[in-house]
Amino acid sequence: MIIDSLLPLLLLLFQVPATAILLSRLLKGPMRHPPLQPQQPTPEMLGSVSIVVPTLNEALRISPLLAGLSQQSYEVREIIVVDSRSVDGTPDLVKAANTKDPRFRVFTDDPLPPGWVGRPWALHNGFLQTAKGSKWFLGMDADVQPHPGLVASLVETAEAEGYDLVSLSPQFILKYPGECWLQPALLMTLLYRFDSAGVNSSQAERVMANGQCFLCRREVLGAVDGYSSAKGSFCDDVTLARNVAAQGFQVGFLDGAKVLKVRMYEGAWETWKEWGRSLDLKDASSRAQIWGDLWLLLAVQGLPLIVVLSYLLISPPIHLTMSLLLGLNIFLLIIRFALLLAIAPSYDRTNSQGGWLFWLSPLADPLAVLRIFLSAFRQPREWRGREYADMVSG
């Protein structure tokens, strides 16, 4: 009987503080910055933005980005594609875009030096190539599909709100059944650990960012020596944003679901492999932060489904402690399904196969939390076609 009461008590002690932290974050939601809307540029924005896009064998998915960037207006001075020796014809697509829009240009970066990860190296080289007359640097990934008015909206928001750096969460495009089920559960690990997009963190070490659409004042990026401070990071966007925030600059992470879409990975396996191993954010976090986040995820996202299903299958004796434990985990599951409704606008399932599996994604939560645990203390050895056998974690 003592043993039957002890385990529920220990689980309660494990989960209750984490639940309090989660609720304190979710209560900020109603006060968050509204999603960005497409904007028309104003005359003072003329030529104020240099866009840099890192590429490595992106021929199959870069065309929507090139088309979307060509629709941005006179606020964009130049669009620099930094290619890392693609062998699939990526540079040829950029050169073709240049024949219609002279703002496009492509150059090949130097071989990757020791200690650098490919993406920040390409972005750093692109930053060094940007025109000194540009006020803003905008890093974008090849998988982004920007709407007209995106860049003007970003600049207008940054100027109005006083941001030195602002990045956007996109609307994710889902296509296949496995990713419709798994990807929202993986995204939820971020929402549980950090404030939602539109809620600014007052702590530099808790700042969030998304390098898929990453706007920074050019002088601020120069003050931190470009991407050098994030050179060895596999989550360089978050690492750089936290370094910028630590220097006292204003950093924002906002909802961009109405101004850009992203098609990140093809299928559940690629989503698990590629996105799952960077979601731990270990390169931008202290060891204590990592352990704290793992505890929180396990307590409020990984365990509730397991606890409730275990009760239904085993039917243990009901007593006060067990009743409290069951009630808490049912409450956490209710929160989880409510959050699913909240993030639904962040997904485009228009042409997806098995899009209804999105609504069953809470069943993938234990798997998503497991993925974060598996990658939290393991440094990637391969990333986007590059090998990093000599990289050292931490």
Give the pLDDT score at 180: 96
CA distance 254 to 195: 11
- For residue 189, being part of any structural domain is answered with no
Question: In this predicted model, what pLDDT tens digit does every residue of 279-308 receive, in sequence order?
Answer: 889 999 999 999 999 999 999 999 999 999
Does residue 319 share a domain with residue 216?
Answer: no
Cβ neighbours of 312 (radius 10 Å): 9
Does residue 21 share a domain with residue 48?
Answer: no
Give the residue ranges of DSSP H helices in the chain. Answer: 2-26, 63-70, 90-100, 118-129, 150-161, 177-193, 218-223, 236-246, 267-270, 287-297, 303-314, 320-343, 365-376
- For residue 142, being part of any structural domain is answered with yes
Cβ neighbours of 26 (radius 10 Å): 18
CA distance 380 to 3: 41
| CATH label of the domain that carries residue 67 | 3.90.550.10
- For residue 112, being part of any structural domain is answered with yes
Predicted model pTM: 0.92
Give the pLDDT score at 231: 94
In the chain, how many domains are there?
2
Does residue 309 share a domain with residue 263?
Answer: no
Give the pLDDT score at 306: 96
- Give the mean pLDDT of the chain: 93
Backbone angles phi, psi at 59, to 5 degrees: -60, -30
- For residue 211, being part of any structural domain is answered with yes
Does residue 66 share a domain with residue 9?
Answer: no
Does residue 259 share a domain with residue 151?
Answer: yes
Domain of residue 245 covers 34-179+195-278
- For residue 200, being part of any structural domain is answered with yes
Residue finishing a domain among 256, 278, 300 = 278
Give the pLDDT score at 198: 81
- Successive 10-residue mean pLDDT values, the chain, 394 residues: 72 97 90 93 97 96 97 98 95 97 96 93 96 97 97 97 96 96 96 87 89 97 96 94 96 96 93 86 92 97 96 84 94 97 95 95 97 87 66 45
Does residue 137 share a domain with residue 116?
Answer: yes
Give the pLDDT score at 393: 41
Does residue 302 share a domain with residue 217?
Answer: no
Sequence-ordered list of residues with C-beta below 8 angstroms from that of 294, at least 6 positions apart, any chain: 372, 373, 376
Residue finishing a domain among 278, 298, 323 = 278
- For residue 383, being part of any structural domain is answered with no
Does residue 84 share a domain with residue 66?
Answer: yes
**Residue found by looking up tokens 């990071």 in the block:** 233
Does residue 290 share a domain with residue 259?
Answer: no
Give the pLDDT score at 2: 44
Does residue 203 share a domain with residue 107?
Answer: yes
Cβ neighbours of 233 (radius 10 Å): 22
